[in-house]
Chains A and B, each alone.
Chain A
Amino acid sequence: MSGFSTTIQLIYVAAASCFVLGLHLMNNPATARRGNQVSTVGMAAAVAATLALIIHSGAITVTGWIVMAAGALVGAAVGLYSARTVQMTAMPQLVSVFNAVGGGAAALVGIHDYMTLADAGRGVPGSITVTTLLDVIIGAVTFSGSIIAAGKLQGLITSAPVTFPGSRAVNLLLAAVTLAACGYLITTPSLPVLGIVIVAALAFGVSMVMPIGGADMPVVISLLNAFTGTAVAMAGFVIGNWALIIAGALVGASGGILTKLMADAMNRSIGNIIVGGFGTGDSALAVLPGAGAGVRAIEADDAAIQLAYASKVIIVPGYGLAAAQAQYAVAELAELLESRGVEVSYAIHPVAGRMPGHMNVLLAEANVPYPQLKEMEEINPEFSRTDVALVIGANDVTNPAARRPGTAISGMPILDVDQAKSIIVIKRSMGHGYAGIDNELYANPKTSMYFADAKKALAGLTSAVKTLVG
């Protein structure tokens, strides 16, 4: 190895160390920003080293330079614009899009390498074929799957599980075609057959994500994140680049851990989620017959009195808070209550929202100090000492039916909201949660229902507290 390429390799190792250190610094909100900076420095070093390598090799054509620079500039501009303008409620979509382009780029690296080798006509070594196929398949599945996921999150595609008769047969057929094509490619290099693999993998990505419902999105995004990392690592195998292998493996591990955490928080296996949502999609539309029977409705003034004279309040946010963009409204109410000496904290269920940690980011955006955001295990013992639990747009994660066997959500860890002395639920209607079952919490005699859009309800509560006691 020449001195020059040794230097380049050492820079790649340094970049990879920056990534590890950057992720390590994410252990604490106080150091996390520095972590991101360290990681950025590593990335810049890796890109600069690659530029040096390209210049040094002298093999690149002028067209090659133009194509590379133009592509990078266009991509960077789009990335910068979307990152600057995205709303925090739309973070899951953006992360999905970044997964898609990352997986897509990894697949393209593998495809191009394979084309170059096949064109040279000297045959493709078996180990390259295997890693290329893994790279292309995982990358293509991630690409199409993440685009579908982003479409569902953005509301461009229905977020209800979409299934059609024979979808399982189609998946099996796709898998069989892919396997057969891969088997053929191991012995005989062929670009058309590689094309079949790409198409089948893209189709599989679509058919994998379509049947998955909105509330399972935290799992799906994590899984696609892990896929992207793995695809990038495979691309590293193909082109023999350690930086890609290490960074890809780190992301694969991160996505894998988050996938497991999310699936555990719903007490469902990853396989069960991928196979499809709870029952059928129409349950999401079903409204309890005779809705309102057995539940107590409440108006802003009564709710405000309860909150204003409480000594401890726990706020339980769910996806409804994000959907109504109510993070600022809830933070304002909490601040007002705190100024009156009420102890306020937030109970965050691991799968609240549409991606891991979604609620935390939204509340951070609204200036809620992060020590007030409590994880499930930490906050559950505190509900029994709580005067008012204020549930905003959260449903299944508060349903005591999860403690009994035999329901759709049995065994799912829940927030023990029903232990609080009194419960106020802000909800638009008596509609069901994702699991399509009644929430027994609403029929609890301690519970009062405040039927309204979360943002309007919270603003109403804030002004009611001000007029009543201000």
Chain B
Amino acid sequence: MSTALLTDLVIFVLSLWVGFEVISKVPATLHTPLMSAANSIHGIVLVGAMLIAVTAHNPIGYVIAFVAAAFAAMNVVGGYVVTGRMLKMFRRRPGTAVAEDGKRS
């Protein structure tokens, strides 16, 4: 096994454990936003999709790059926007989150 692969594997396994630790504390109330947030985070695949465009040099490569970029961008943008939209609705008492918004803007 190469050092690079071993390093990648270590990073992967440790990240899994960090994920388990952090996420097991999320209350059930927030499970849908959590899943949606996780969804937007896997939109990081956009980075991979962008890098495809660099090595693509033939029509099939360009088609793959286009589809991958479209898929990943949809994932990222849609994921973050809908998570934000959902979280905005969670209020302790009716009106509090709205008031907070007013202060911020």
B70 touches A75 (CB 8 A): yes
From 172 to 201 in chain A, residues with beta carbon under 8 angstroms from any chain B beta carbon are none
The winner among B13, B26, B69, B74 for most chain A CB atoms within 10 A is B74
B69 touches A71 (CB 8 A): yes
Nearest-neighbor residue (CB-CB) of A30 within chain B: B92
Tell me, in angstroms, the Cα distance from A240 to B24 when the chains sit together.
Answer: 28
Chain B nearest CB from A273 CB (Å) reads 17
Tell me, in angstroms, the Cα distance from A104 to B30 when the chains sit together.
Answer: 26
Tell me, in angstroms, the Cα distance from A121 to B27 when the chains sit together.
Answer: 52
Map CB proximity to B onto A27-50 as digits: 1 under 8 Å, 0 otherwise: 111101101110110010011001
10 closest A-B pairs by beta carbon, nearest first, are A253-B19, A79-B78, A357-B31, A71-B69, A75-B73, A249-B15, A356-B31, A75-B70, A357-B32, A83-B81
Map CB proximity to B onto A63-82 as digits: 1 under 8 Å, 0 otherwise: 11101101111111011101
Query: Would you list 22 pairs from A and B whose C-beta atoms are within 8 A, ordered by A residue?
Result: A27-B25, A72-B50, A72-B69, A75-B72, A76-B76, A82-B74, A91-B86, A98-B36, A105-B46, A228-B39, A235-B45, A241-B48, A243-B44, A244-B45, A244-B47, A251-B41, A253-B16, A258-B31, A356-B35, A357-B28, A357-B35, A369-B92
Also in contact, A108 and B67, with CB within 8 A (given A23-B22, A83-B82): yes
A102 touches B45 (CB 8 A): yes
B33 touches A32 (CB 8 A): yes
Size category of the binding interface on chain B = 35 or more
Chain A nearest CB from B57 CB (Å) reads 7
A105 touches B86 (CB 8 A): no
B51 touches A83 (CB 8 A): no
Interface of A, secondary structure class, is helix
Task: From A61, A72, A80, A373, give the contact of B46 (CB < 8 A).
Answer: A72
Q: List chain A residues, Cβ under 8 A from B1.
A: 127
Q: List chain B residues, Cβ under 8 A from A26.
A: 23, 26, 30, 33-34, 37
Q: List chain B residues, Cβ under 8 A from A28.
A: 27
Chain A nearest CB from B50 CB (Å) reads 5
Tell me, in angstroms, the Cα distance from A49 to B35 when the chains sit together.
Answer: 26
Q: List chain A residues, Cβ under 8 A from B82.
A: 82-83, 86, 91, 94
Chain B nearest CB from A205 CB (Å) reads 15
